[in-house]
């Protein structure tokens, strides 16, 4: 990956898989989960391509909610309402807030 940052998580984690619990991506999603993924994608508007992971799947933070589709829809529906509505702060301002919050919480991801 050259200068590209290693994808190895600094904290310990499983050698394979996307996290410590089972996660279901778009390709394997069925029923309610599939509907929620479709709804979130439709409501996502024209988000910049940088938010699409290299895997082509939904981001792991989204996929981590996949075992509870209702919780997934609510958490990321709220994300859309806060970050991607006509009332939202400018993109750069939002990402400054996200970066500083994540730093305060010592969150690698």
Partner 1 sequence: MTAHAEFLRAATDNELLARRMKADFRQAGLSPRDRTMLEFVDALSHAPWVLNPAGLEGLERAGFREEEILHVVLGCAHFNYLNRMADGLGIRFEYESPLPAFRPREAGPRPAPPPPVLDPGGDGPEDEAGAFYRVLAGNPEACALASKWRAFQFRPTPGLPAVTRFRIALFVSSLDRCPPGYRSYRRSLAQLGDDAAFGEALNRGQVPAGLPPGERLLLEHAARLTERPWTARKEHLDALRPEGLDDRGILQLTMLVSYLSFESRVALGLGREGVSLPPSS
Q: Which residues bind partner 1 (CB under 8 A)?
A: 1, 3-7, 9-14, 17-22, 48, 50-51, 53-55, 59-61, 64-65, 67-68, 70-71, 74-75, 77-83, 85, 87-89, 91-109
Give whichever of 34 and 94 is closer to partner 1, judged by the CB atom: 94
Least distance to partner 1 from the beta carbon of 89, Å?
Answer: 5
Least distance to partner 1 from the beta carbon of 38, Å?
Answer: 18
CA distance 73 to 88: 19
Q: Any idea which residue has 């599939």 for tokens?
A: 34
Give whichever of 12 and 34 is closer to partner 1, judged by the CB atom: 12
Q: Cβ contacts of residue 79 below 8 Å, gap of 6+?
A: none
- Rg of the chain, C-alpha, whole Å: 15
Sign for the CA dihedral angle at 35, 37, 38, 44 comes to: positive
Give whichever of 34 and 60 is closer to partner 1, judged by the CB atom: 60
Distances (CA, A) of 88 to 43, 46, 85: 15, 14, 5
Least distance to partner 1 from the beta carbon of 86, Å?
Answer: 10
């Amino acid at each position: 990956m050259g200068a590209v940052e290693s994808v190895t998580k600094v904290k310990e984690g499983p050698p394979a898989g996307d996290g410590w619990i089972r996660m279901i991506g778009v390709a394997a999603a069925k029923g309610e989960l599939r509907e929620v993924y479709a709804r979130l994608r439709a409501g996502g508007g024209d988000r910049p391509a940088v938010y699409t992971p290299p895997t082509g799947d939904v981001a792991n933070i989204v996929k981590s909610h996949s075992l509870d589709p209702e919780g997934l829809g609510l958490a990321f529906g709220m994300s859309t309402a806060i970050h991607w509505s006509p009332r939202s702060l400018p993109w750069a301002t939002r990402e400054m807030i996200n970066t500083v919050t994540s730093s305060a919480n010592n969150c690698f991801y």
